[in-house]
């Protein structure tokens, strides 16, 4: 097995993200019909429920003060073969006056901060904004279409 290239972007990977995310959110998502599907290239988790997927990850380029990244969409992955978005990011679903919308309060530097952030996201985002969309595919498709139109993606 090849050793990872620790001189490249791999040294920015958050080593505690995957286990902390599983501990904090897996049971909740399973109770809502999701199952873990895969890991993304940096250790973020992808969950699926019928045709809906949710990717819970982080922005690698923000290391070591990582920014949480959460998208919800239809299909298998974030982008279709043409490079068009098949999902909507969490910030887009939030009211524009919430600090989370502007990226505030979505940062973590250590495992305790991440777990606290994920617990807040579970109550303040997943339950309030994501759950109604994963429960209604037509509303989710409409939200994705609005996002794509607004940001031309």
DSSP assignment of 46-77, as one string?
EEEETTEEEEEEEEGGGTTSEEEEEEEEESSS
More confident residue, 6 or 84: 84
| DSSP structural state of residue 85 | B
Residue 1 pLDDT:
45
Q: What is the pLDDT of residues 74-117, one digit of tens each?
A: 987 776 666 567 899 999 998 877 665 456 678 999 999 999 99
More confident residue, 46 or 5: 46
Distance CA 39, CA 150 (A): 29
Side-chain-side CA neighbours of 103 within 13 Å: the count stands at: 7
* Residue of higher predicted confidence among 28 and 84: 28
DSSP state, 129?
Answer: I
Is residue 148 pLDDT above 80, yes or no?
yes
């Amino acid at each position: 097995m090849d050793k990872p290239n620790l001189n490249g972007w791999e040294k920015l990977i958050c080593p505690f993200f995957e286990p902390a995310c599983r501990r904090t959110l897996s049971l909740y998502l399973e109770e809502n019909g999701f199952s873990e599907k895969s890991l993304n290239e940096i250790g973020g988790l992808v969950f699926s429920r019928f045709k809906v997927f949710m990717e819970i990850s982080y922005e690698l380029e923000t290391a070591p003060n990582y920014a949480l990244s959460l998208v919800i969409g239809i299909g298998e992955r974030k982008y279709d073969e043409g490079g068009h978005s098949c999902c909507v990011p969490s910030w887009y679903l939030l009211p524009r006056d919430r600090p989370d919308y502007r990226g505030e309060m979505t940062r973590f530097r250590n495992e305790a901060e991440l777990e606290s952030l994920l617990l807040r996201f579970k109550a303040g985002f997943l339950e309030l904004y994501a759950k109604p969309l994963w429960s209604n595919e037509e509303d989710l498709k409409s939200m994705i279409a609005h996002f794509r139109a607004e940001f031309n993606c």
